[in-house]
Structure 1
Amino acid sequence: MKRKQLLMLFTCVSAFLGCSNDNDSENNQNSNFDSSDYYYFISGKINGEPFLYGQSMDDNTLKYQEVSEIPLEAATCAYGIDPKLSYSTAMFPNFDNEDTDPQMGISFIRFYQCSNPQTSTEVFNDLFAIGNYEYSENDLSSGTMMQIGVDYLPIAMGDVHYESYGEIDPNNTFSITSTEAQNQYLLGTLVSQKQLVEGEFSAKLYNTEDSSDFIEITEGRFKLSVTK
């Protein structure tokens, strides 16, 4: 997820979680953990080393928060030749650790087309269907519909940034295995739309400043919310 975002939504999973650091309790990095034990996460191996960025239901303090990039739909659809909208969600560390801990995000590239006769509100919860998806060469508003991007910063607020855009490795994989609407209503009126998606992935990510520098993510798993 690129930092020049139109609108950022930071989600705390519980009012009972503080935002202080808890270095004594590390995230479970066993790839066989039960996803139902987590509010959200992205996990896997980076160059063979296991990682897990997320928030367990057993955590007493906030370790990672979901950060959603929400397109400014009216402005985007008003310009260009039939532009397409993308949605992104990243695991961003507790603000106390943003200068030391990593960030990883998944982008759903061009999942809604402005010329669609149905509004994005009408179709949003149906966009993220179970199935396999290809990776995108870029995150532009024009191009093939319904592709994927993955990015990673070893230090969330650092300058080193890896992403899957550009040359696509033929071994990259991405699949959504579970999808569930979690919309919020107030007195019967829809106030926000959210889709909880789970799946698996693998990808080769390249340093945005040096294409000879890359990392490989294997055994990737995710559980995250896509917000409109």
Structure 2
Amino acid sequence: MRHPADALEVVMKFLLTSSGVTNPRIESTLVDLLGKPISEAAALFVPTGLHPFPGGAGSAWDAIAGAGGDRAAGLGWKSVGVLELTALPSIRRESWVPALREADVLIVWGGDVLHLCHWMRESGLADLLPELTGTVYLGVSAGSIAVTPYNCDAEFDREFVPEGDDRGRDADRALGLVDVTPYPHLGHPSMPDAALEEIRRWAAGIPVPTSAIDDDTALRIVDHQVEVVSEGTWELFEP
């Protein structure tokens, strides 16, 4: 059986971030991947990962509106649409797949990695991603972790699994569409598990490279080639 990453021969372009497009270098990399100015590019925004958390509905709106200084949906795109993954299994594919294929960038926001991965699979989005020739996948926090082999937020995510749901059993695995696992928010003062030594300890237990990235750092991945784009701090842990 072919691994999902084997289907990605030069078709998907990933920009995996902690907190969106936070500095000119990350923005320049995004424009380069798009091959056009942001003002000429169409975006689809996925807020699904926020819903498991208390206040998730308000957080989803804040993310779409660009509140709090987070820069992704509010960068000045030609157009922005919302793709809510939990709704997709209940509607006809021809109602949403064309918009997905026509988008220049898919912005997948943060939140609960386990919930996000579940609905990326259930909606069919995970299977479609390798077919999106030329589309840029812009991941933010959980949206970045979701396409990697391992979920560094697994223990945290299990706290939000509904009672009686066995989804938490495989919480440590993500979609595996890229070959490196970013660990976002390196050194963030409100996230003790993002301290460098904590990340080092976690990275020692997985068989793929782990890239600890702060909120001013991103990973540019094209055809499995990884480039660090940073105006901040990062560290790579080899397996």
The TM-score, its normalising length taken from structure 2, stands at 0.25
The TM-score with structure 1 as length reference comes to 0.26
- Name the structure with the higher helix share: 2
Higher RCO (CA 8 Å, separation ≥ 6 residues): 2
Task: Select the structure of larger CA radius of gyration.
Answer: 1
- Higher strand fraction (1 or 2): 1
